[in-house]
Amino acid sequence: MPRDFPLRATFDQVAGSYQDARPDYPPGLYADLLADTGLRPPAPLLEVGCGPGKATLPLARAGFPITAVELGPALAAEARRRLAGFAGVEVVTSSFESWEPPPGARFALVYAATAWKWVDPEVKYAKAADLLTPGGHLAVWNADHALPAGHDPFFTEIQRVYEDLGEGHPGPWPPPESPPDPTADELAASGRFEVTGTRRYLWALRYTAEEYIALLETFSGHIAMDPAKREHLYGEMRRLLAARPDGRLTRHWSVVLTIGRVPPG
């Protein structure tokens, strides 16, 4: 596994706050996913890395039976609590790599929301393909920070603080119209999928200092950061935003949805 994979276990430390701190994915993403794949209930779905159920709930509400696999026991427990009203949803505590599905289990869709990069690349595509019915789909998306033209100058200012702490972003942030999302290339290179399409979504949210810090507290790099560094960083964020009349920043989000299909037959 890649060297940073131990960080995937950090999210379990923030199981109680993750759902509320992280943004919901755009409703249009789910509409496009269902339109592009042609999926309708009761087609069975498999979610990889469901966390507390951020991307599970919308599809459960649409009537799909879902098996959701989650590595973190606290996150899995939170997902079970939030999904308790859906009889067709099962949350399994396991890594996707080690999970053993019931004999003969097959799914119409395997999907992962802001989780696929944490799965072993030597395993994930082959295992997903083996669990899909002929013609079944794999859908992957990830919510990333975007810095479009005219973005909030807060992020230029705070980036200097990150750099002073030795926590700077490696290289310039890419524009949102060309995020470095390798999923489509990986899908094609796996030899198990044909890429059927990609879609991009961009939106902005406003945050107070405390709301933004709560968001950062759900990111693996900030969870694992030295506490003294983290406290200094958050102090600088509070200082910068306290100087603004409304005390808020604007953060842009970018999501790329990539869909692949197992060739039928």
AA identity, residue 248: R
The token pair at 39 is 């999926």
* Averaged pLDDT, 103-122: 95
What band does 13 get if pLDDT is binned at 50, 70 and 90?
A: confident
What band does 11 get if pLDDT is binned at 50, 70 and 90?
A: confident
Please give the share of the chain, as a percent, with pLDDT higher than 90. Answer: 84
What band does 221 get if pLDDT is binned at 50, 70 and 90?
A: confident
User: Is a pLDDT exceeding 90 seen at residue 14?
Assistant: no
Other Cβ atoms closer than 10 A to 255: 23
- Summarised one tens digit per residue, pLDDT across range 48-102 is 999 999 999 999 999 999 999 999 999 999 999 999 999 999 999 999 999 999 9
Q: What average pLDDT is seen over the chain?
A: 92
Position with higher pLDDT, 174 vs 254: 254
Angle between helices 209-216 and 227-242 in degrees, nearest 10 = 150
Q: Are 199 and 249 in contact (CB under 8 A)?
A: no
Distance (Å, whole) CA 163 – CA 9: 25
Give phi and psi for 31, each to the nearest 5. -65, -40
Name the β-bridge partners of 191.
Answer: none
The token pair at 6 is 């131990």
User: Is a pLDDT exceeding 60 seen at residue 45?
Assistant: yes
Tell me which of 166-170, 181-185, 242-246, 255-259 is least confident: 166-170
Q: Are 62 and 3 in contact (CB under 8 A)?
A: no
pLDDT score for 18: 87
Structural domain spans, the chain? 5-261
* Averaged pLDDT, 144-155: 93
Distance (Å, whole) CA 146 – CA 164: 22
User: Is a pLDDT exceeding 60 seen at residue 179?
Assistant: no
The answer regarding whether domain 5-261 maps to CATH 3.40.50.150 reads: yes
What band does 7 get if pLDDT is binned at 50, 70 and 90?
A: low
User: Is a pLDDT exceeding 90 seen at residue 182?
Assistant: no
Tell me which of 2-11, 30-39, 130-139 is least confident: 2-11
AA identity, residue 19: Q
* Averaged pLDDT, 213-239: 95
Please give the share of the chain, as a percent, with pLDDT higher than 70. Answer: 92
The edge-to-edge listing of strands for the beta sheet with 66-70 is 89-93, 66-70, 45-48, 107-113, 132-146, 248-261, 194-208
pLDDT score for 9: 65
Q: Are 252 and 146 in contact (CB under 8 A)?
A: yes
